[in-house]
Amino acid sequence: MRTLLIIFSLFPCLAFAVVSPTAEQLTKEIEQQGAGVVISRLYQNNEREWRYVTGQIATGENRWLKVASLLASDTDAASSETLTTAVALAIPHNPAGVLGILTEREMPLSIRQVCGLPFYVMSEPEFNQYVLDAIRALYKVPAGKACMDTMINTIGQSDGFNEDN
């Protein structure tokens, strides 16, 4: 016990360190406990773990996209919105992987939501670059047309960029 106190006094950051879950750990946890329980746990501590998980989903790695698909069924309004945004951000990195998890059965993973540019905190240059990168990536995927069409229609129906969104 004394050794632990010495270690924590020398390295106080260790006392508050949180081990971030892996995609494999979360997959197993969701399968055992259910998505709702896991989402509730991830939202604890000022959403730190939820933000980590959605950041990983946004990388487009297939294992994290699988986590997104498992979480989608039990999201509420807030978690649904951030999950949708994370999946949308993954499009330029792995369009085929994202398209592979889209489903109309789960609102956060519908084509309309994910491909409808669900961004609220993005500058105009970031948004423009995202659209360019996403369309380039989707163009290379045979099944990408519906998602591209949704993006283009969303842009066509907008009143222009407003940074106050």
Summarize the confidence of residues 111-139 as an average pLDDT.
Answer: 96
Question: Is residue 10 predicted with pLDDT exceeding 70?
Answer: no
Whole-prediction pTM: 0.86
pLDDT in tens, 64-91: 999 999 999 999 999 999 999 999 999 9
Question: Is residue 4 predicted with pLDDT exceeding 60?
Answer: no
Domain assignment present for residue 89? The answer is yes
Label residue 1 by pLDDT band (50, 70, 90). very low
Which pLDDT belongs to residue 56? 98
Domain assignment present for residue 2? The answer is no
Domain assignment present for residue 92? The answer is yes
Which pLDDT belongs to residue 7? 42
Question: Is residue 164 predicted with pLDDT exceeding 70?
Answer: no
Domain assignment present for residue 86? The answer is yes
Domain range enclosing 120: 24-157
Which pLDDT belongs to residue 161? 59
Domain assignment present for residue 33? The answer is yes
Please give the tally of structural domains in the chain.
1
Domain assignment present for residue 12? The answer is no
By CB atoms closer than 10 A (0-12, 13-18, 19+), residue 154 is middle
User: Mean pLDDT over all residues of the chain?
Assistant: 89
Summarize the confidence of residues 18-45 as an average pLDDT.
Answer: 94
Judge contact between 129 and 122, C-beta under 8 A. Answer: no
Question: Is residue 14 predicted with pLDDT exceeding 70?
Answer: no
Which pLDDT belongs to residue 158? 76
Domain assignment present for residue 43? The answer is yes
Summarize the confidence of residues 14-29 as an average pLDDT.
Answer: 80
Summarize the confidence of residues 151-157 as an average pLDDT.
Answer: 93
Domain assignment present for residue 8? The answer is no
